[in-house]
Amino acid sequence: MRLFVALPLPAAVQEHLDLAVNALTDGAADGPGGRGGPHPVRWVPAEQRHITLAFFGEVPDGAAAGIQAALAVSLGGFGPLRLRLRGAGVFSRRTLWVGVQEDQHGTEPDRLLTLMARCEDVGEDFTRMQRRDRHRAHVTLARLSARRPELDELAGRAHALSVYEGPPWTAEHAVLVSSRPGAGRSGGPLYEVVAAIPLGA
């Protein structure tokens, strides 16, 4: 099975982001609810949006329990994170994302990146995953399925969302998720939560 660990988005955060995305697309055929047929811009369904902490890839079925236990130990004393969605951009001219801002008023900066590193440490013990050199947490909103003139359109939408700022929330747990490519809606992936991992006090 394919596994990853992520921070879920609360309903209020999803709803606020939906308003921004829907205003941006304004019912266009290529928008999240558009009905204009196949389009190179593929929007991520709201229920699949998340903040990826680490992607483990294919793992043996029997390894899931061990990964869950190791994550519980590694993240158990980490403590909650105060976050909000803010800003936007495009990765490799093909992936539209909204950024994640951490409240860093405490004594330890970049706790979200530290959390990502801890999750990747667990993954390296159980899988052949490749550690990513990541410096920005994000939520993927849409992807381009082909190199088309819509590239400029995607960049324009990122520019429009660059001023976006969502409501703050406290992340108190991560989730270990299984992914089945092609088994979800419209041929997309099907995500199923394997376990919730508390971040501790």
* Catalytic residue status for 50: yes
Q: Is 138 a catalytic residue?
A: yes
Token pair, residue 54, equals: 């680490």
Find the DSSP H helices in 26-169: 64-75, 111-126, 150-161
Q: Report whether 71 contacts 124 (CB < 8 A).
A: no
| Residue 136 amino acid letter | R
Choosing from 16, 105, 135, 138, which is the catalytic residue?
138
SS (HEC) of 52-88: EEEEEEECCHHHHHHHHHHHHHHHCCCCCEEEEEEEE
* Residues carrying an active site annotation: 50, 138
